[in-house]
Amino acid sequence: MGVDKKILVIPGDGIGQEVTAWGQKVLVTIAENFKHNFVFDEGIMGHVAIEATGTPLPDETLEKARKSDAILFGAIGHAKYDNDPTLKVRPEQGLLKIRKELGLYANLRPIKLFDELLEASSIKSEILRGSDILFFRELTGDVYFGEKKRTEDRNTASDLMIYHRYEVERIARKAYEAARTRRHKLCSVDKANVLEASRLWREVVQEIAKEYPDVETEHMFIDNAAMQLIKDPKRFDVVVTGNLFGDILTDEASQIAGSMGMLASASIGDSTGFYEPIHGSAHDIAGKGIANPLASILSAALMLDISFGLKNESQRVIKAVDATLKQGYRTMDIANKHTDNHLIMGTDAMGAKVLENLS
């Protein structure tokens, strides 16, 4: 029997608008093939929302989000904000607000390498082969939400790194539950030798670990974790860490997958799920039709699995992506010196190939 779900699509800025269209088309195809009823709505957020309404997250978009079962998101950002840090209204404020309003406290980022892309990474293939990591990044605490100050003379600034016990407890349990379905290994990343917030983090994770004696727990400082992630990625299974460290480590881990254009993510809490590629708005290539749509398509696969419990449908999408790569098709970001030029294609052609394999 098919399922009925409401999906809000927020394309956002830059290439988000180009790739999200293909994530949505995949969901439409799945609904048709498996007799599900997916009802789509659309909202604006980020730079386009600021231009249209003066705010990065209009009330109308937030209300639509609250009424949705899941959200397919593109990306936000614009060069004008990167070049002018004094601007008070910024696209990323919308992203932080929607995470807070929807209670999205855990960001899941699977780092799984398709064998066909071993040569796309700058890391040696023998180091990468077999890598499969699931990151849990905490989303509601840390310096992103702590008090921010700038002195009147504008010469001194501070950001408060803050964590509460309950924030660490809930994401640690999510990570441990996931570890039980995988290789029963969990690595918690912090900076407990220097930061008091990290000492609380480690203390709480050590307490939660007692509830999961079947999971092997390792604690690692962020600087060592950054090095080990490149040196020996296969040693990691589930990684749980704070907002700032998770942001940095998962972008670093894009080199394991070959490109940011291959990485999907899910932000979850206790209700609506939020699904997005991690690559950002990439205004330098926006409008050129060369962005990689696979991360958005894989984000749709995550939505089918995590929010809707449609594991078979999710696997069908992943297999369609795998088949497309096996056929040799590549966007520029995942091409290498061995790729035939006639197999290098743009956003729409790559998305169409995945749909062809999905159907």
| Catalytic hit among 5, 64, 174, 191 | 191
Known catalytic membership, residue 223: yes
Known catalytic membership, residue 251: yes
| Catalytic hit among 41, 132, 247, 348 | 247
Known catalytic membership, residue 191: yes
| Catalytic hit among 25, 64, 81, 144 | 144
| Catalytic hit among 115, 223, 232, 270 | 223
| Catalytic hit among 159, 251, 322, 348 | 251
Q: How far is CA 305 from the centre of its chain?
A: 15
- Please give the positions annotated as active site: 144, 191, 223, 247, 251
